[in-house]
Structure 1
Amino acid sequence: MRYELPYARPGQVIGLLGGSFDPAHEGHVHITKMALKRFGLDRVWWLVSPGNPLKEQGPASMERRLSHARQIMQHPRVEVTDLEARTGTRYTAATLKAIKRLYPGVTFVWLMGADNLAQFHLWQDWREIMATTPVGVIARPGKRGAARNSVAAQSFAHAKLAPGASRLLGRCGAPCWCFINVPMSDASSTEIRARGGWVRG
């Protein structure tokens, strides 16, 4: 199941939420809506990845994950995409470069949960991502302290935007990142699979 390239016009600020979405759940929906509101984004695109390089076991089929994500995420300013499969990239830094080439004049903001910031320094070319792309971090249960004290947070402390100015994130120029606390959802893809609510096969 393939989708057309999403539309964006120069001058727009678009948030990118990447992941395996195996499966997509209400936690993803929650942080997406919070990101739209708090970071002043024009749109958010979900980047459903072919596979996560940091995970040993492969996810459910791309077609199934895309279809389920589109059922879960119903919002006029959110689009579920297979952009990472289309660009043929597996790592976020390479994906961002490819997307920026496809959409000149568009500002992209990388979105992540606080749990991802805590281990962001394990990502390939993470410093390049922080240096070239605004990053919006949304707090999730139990990860705030680890995220705030993470290697990435300490290394780019000089580029941190105050939460009260979060709506400027896409317009402040990289490096720039912002950590926001929001009413949290503790939904987890891992827990959903463990309960038998999503079978990969």
Structure 2
Amino acid sequence: MPHLQPGMTVGLFGGSFNPPHEGHLLVAKLALQRLGLDQLWWLVTPGNPLKSGNGLAPLAERLAHSDTMAGDPRIRVTAIEKTLGTAYTARTIRHIIRRNPAVHFVWIMGADNLGDFHRWQEWRRIAATVPIAVIDRPGATLTYLSSKAARALDKARVPERAARALPRMKPPAWTFIHGPRSAISSTALRQESKR
């Protein structure tokens, strides 16, 4: 687990990063800037329970590529879920918060994940445990904002102009952040590499 000081604000950005790409870096940099974060952790998962394991590069390879891609000392690449033996975000977040009670964490996700958030194990508990920043991605923004999870959490939505205060807000609290978007996706990169 990266080193932390009490009072810091830290973004948690999970994913398979299979492979990591400029879109991930764009989300990370936008979150660092708009949320005023001290650090942002790329939580490189051993696997994703909602996705097929086919084509998943070895964890060590994805970590190495993520380290190379990050290029910002505030972005910390970690395989904490492998170390903890957790496969689900809710458990990982609870463990991180328990170990660092004086740090302000915020979950970072691309808008495409908001569409499936209601399928995550204990998604309501995640929303009740940590504030969430949803970063816009190319596609159907309005569709993401009308997803089952977005509708269920509608009363907890914070205006984008208050994004900088989000990490210190009591959950549930979430915001949708607009900004530069990248159409690059790990799926497209994997398909292109097979050609």
TM-score, with structure 2 as normaliser: 0.96
* Stretches of structure 1 lacking an aligned partner (at least 5 in a row): none
**Equivalent residue letter for 1:39:** L
**Following the alignment from structure 2 to structure 1, what is the Cα–Cα distance between the partners of residues 101 and 128?**
18
Is the CA contact 1:15–1:43 (under 8 Å) kept in the aligned structure 2? yes
* Correspondence for 2:11: 15
1:52 matches 2:48: yes
* Residue correspondence of structure 1 range 143-162 to structure 2 within 5 A: 143-162=140-159
* Correspondence for 2:178: 181
**Following the alignment from structure 1 to structure 2, what is the Cα–Cα distance between the partners of residues 143 and 11?**
36
Percent of pairs with identical residues: 47
* Correspondence for 2:67: 70
* Correspondence for 1:128: 125
Is the CA contact 1:21–1:65 (under 8 Å) kept in the aligned structure 2? yes
Q: Could you list the per-position Cα deviations for residues 85-116 of structure 1 after superposition, in whole angstroms to 9, with x for gaps in the alignment?
A: 11110000011011112222111110000000
**Following the alignment from structure 2 to structure 1, what is the Cα–Cα distance between the partners of residues 117 and 157?**
15
Q: Could you list the per-position Cα deviations for residues 42-82 of structure 1 after superposition, in whole angstroms to 9, with x for gaps in the alignment?
A: 11000000000011224111110000110111002111011
TM-score, with structure 1 as normaliser: 0.93
* Stretches of structure 2 lacking an aligned partner (at least 5 in a row): none
Give the ranges of 4+ consecutive aligned residues of structure 1 lying more than 2 Å apart after TM superposition: none
**Following the alignment from structure 2 to structure 1, what is the Cα–Cα distance between the partners of residues 47 and 68?**
20
1:37 matches 2:33: yes
Quick one: structure 1 residues 53 and 167, their matched pair in 2 at CA, closer, same or farther if it must change by over 3 Å?
A: same
Q: Could you list the per-position Cα deviations for residues 137-182 of structure 1 after superposition, in whole angstroms to 9, with x for gaps in the alignment?
A: 0000013111110111111111111011111110121110010111
Is the CA contact 1:118–1:143 (under 8 Å) kept in the aligned structure 2? no
* Correspondence for 2:189: 192
Say how many residue pairs are matched. 194
1:131 shift after superposition:
1.1
* Correspondence for 1:6: 2
Is the CA contact 1:17–1:44 (under 8 Å) kept in the aligned structure 2? yes
**Following the alignment from structure 1 to structure 2, what is the Cα–Cα distance between the partners of residues 73 and 192?**
18
**Equivalent residue letter for 1:112:** M
